[in-house]
Structure 1
Amino acid sequence: MPMVNLCLILVISLLPFSLVHASEEDSDGIVLAGTRLIYPSAQKEVTFGLQNESKKPFLIQAWISEDESEATPADAKVPFVIVPPLFRIEEGQRSTLRILQIPNDLPGEQESLFWLSVLAIPGQAAGSIPSPGMMELAIETRIKLIYRPVTLKGNVASAVASLEFSLDKAGRSLTVTNPSPYFVNLVSGTLTQGASRRGLVAVEAIGPGHVLSFGVDGVMDADVGIQGNVEMNYLDDGGLLRTVRLPLLAQRNIHEME
């Protein structure tokens, strides 16, 4: 990977599941099999596929971390083992990661969230000559790995349907409560009251039993919350975008508790 007698690798953390490339001669680089991985607790192992759709080989390193901010395998202390953790994948080749769980004390009454990281370091195709001044990029992609106890009742769709929404007195913030044992991957949303319709700001995933507040792009009438509804876009287990419309809780009940 010489670049004017200098080897330079940049590591970039991306949300998309396609690992991009630095050269126009490549096609799609390393492509992962999905944007998330569900691990049923009863299974000894699960598999996750990837394919090299570029015209050069890659060195792949994969690891699992508990925190999205953990950048290296050395920081990871999780009840999982990846096989193989480091390997070379040739152009056009498919490969599979085996993820095995080891004895653990993860909670059985709710899901647990981890992050699967895949680092792709580009190599040089046999017989090719490096382009002068070309910069090679090593790309890291992280996807959610959700550990799901088999004893949980319901599913993600029922978890979304159980979400509770309430507007604050000022009409500028929407509180979301997730009473379910599932992670709900909220993406965006809209709040409607009569003829007034406002988007939600800084929408994010909500964990089991958690409470979050999203900003409202404007001001809504908090006194008529019972007449409002919230339309939320979320991702299902397969990473597909779904939409659900749920009622806004009566504000008089919220105010009585304050």
Structure 2
Amino acid sequence: MALGSRGARTMRNTFIAGLTLLSLMFGATAQAAVTVGATRLIYDAKQNEANLTVSNREDDSPYLVQSWVSQYGAGNDASLDTFIVTPPLFRLDANKENILRVIFTGGAAVPQNQESLFLMNVKAIPAMRDDQRDANVLQIALKTTIKLFYRPAGLPGSPKEAVAALDWKAAGDTLSVDNPSKFHVVVSEVKVNGTALSTQTDVLKPGEHRVLPVKAKSGDQISLSYIDDYGTSITAPAVTLR
């Protein structure tokens, strides 16, 4: 017996809802299963490499793990030749972990007088079990992306000193900030007189001048929270605009 248009719509909506729920279930499972051991990776050029742990906390599901480094803010995740990640592709069995070795290959495009920022990408693809091969099963690949900071050897200063060196100014009813240091400042939150900016800044690059979308005047209090090398949010001492 043919279904009416209302019945067809109901079945279609039920199918879509079920597919969406299945996607969420697989996504949540992947997210809980394969994890990386840090929220950021600091590549100290005094060392030969940087290491990142990848763990599979599933009880019975292996994953195929692919890893690479891409450019920060490029709008795509194309792999760079500047870094080699080994192993680039491997099977990660249930309740196992592996260590990714990130090796800097050099290149004139990476300055040695200031810090550089890249992205570390780790994609986990669930393996197809034998009982799933003849079934319609939705497989969800989960990609985790964290910041990778390349820090040249002998760089003067520190990330904490970089935060203290930020130069906040009020000019023409606008708020601006200069980062004169050689380090990136990863911003968690900026408040003006106790009110958080509606549009937050992610990263202040070395040598960057940034005008923020808020009115400010002399005497206003600026409070900055930033993320340190260990992924902890720290609130810096408040600054009074001059």
Q: TM-score scaled to structure 2, two decimals? A: 0.80
Alignment of 1:29-44 (within 5 A): 29-44=33-48
Q: Which residue of 1 aligns with 2:204?
A: 206
In structure 1, how many angstroms separate the alpha carbons of the residues matched to 2:139 and 2:170?
A: 49
Maintained 8 Å contact 2:65/2:90 = yes
Equivalent residues in 2 for 1:1-258, closer than 5 Å: 22=26, 28-55=32-59, 56-69=61-74, 71-72=76-77, 75-105=78-108, 106-125=110-129, 128-129=131-132, 134-170=137-173, 173-192=174-193, 197-200=194-197, 201-216=199-214, 220=216, 222=217, 225=218, 227-250=219-242
- Give the greater-gyration-radius structure (CA): 2
Secondary structure, counterpart of 2:163 in structure 1: helix
In structure 2, do the counterparts of structure 1 residues 185 and 179 end up closer, same or farther at CA, with 3 Å as the change threshold? same
CA contact (8 A) 2:27 2:140 kept: no
Which residue matches 1:253? none
Give, in angstroms, the shift of residue 83 of structure 1: 0.7
Letter paired with 2:86 = V
Q: Equivalent residue for 1:15? A: none
Q: Secondary structure at the match of 2:237?
A: strand
Percent identical across equivalent pairs? 29
The offset of 1:149, in angstroms, is 1.2
User: Hey, what's the Cα distance between the residues in 2 that align with 1:233 and 1:117?
Assistant: 26
SS at match of 1:230: strand
8 Å contact kept, 2:30–2:140: no
When residues 34 and 130 of structure 1 are mapped into structure 2, their CA distance, relative to the original with a 3 A threshold, is same
- Structure-2 residue corresponding to 1:16: none
SS at match of 1:22: helix
Distance across 2 between alignment mates of 1:136 and 1:99: 28
* Structure 1 residue matching 2:207: 3-state secondary structure: coil
Distance 1:58 1:111 in 2: 34
Deviations 1:142-162 (A, max 9, x none): 111111012112211110011
What's the Cα RMSD here? 2.6
CA, structure 1 residues 104+25, in 2 after alignment: closer, same or farther (shift >3 Å)?
Answer: closer
CA displacement 1:199-247 (0-9 Å, x = unmatched):
222222110000122223xx55x2xx1x332111110001111101232
**CA 199–93 in structure 1, closer or farther in 2 if over 3 Å, else same:** same
- Is contact 1:164–1:249 with CA below 8 Å preserved after alignment? no
Partner of residue 3, structure 1: none
Q: Secondary structure at the match of 2:236?
A: strand
Partner amino acid, structure 2, of 1:167? A
Q: Counterparts of 1:144 and 1:23 in 2: how far apart (Å)?
A: 22
CA distance in structure 1 between the partners assigned to 2:169 and 2:134 by the alignment: 58
Between the aligned partners of 1:130 and 1:213, the Cα distance in structure 2 is 55
Amino acid at match of 2:53: G
Larger helix proportion, structure 1 or 2? 2
Q: Which has the higher contact order (CA 8 A, sep 6+)?
A: 1
Deviations 1:36-72 (A, max 9, x none): 1000112211211010112411111101112344645
Residues matched between the structures, number: 218
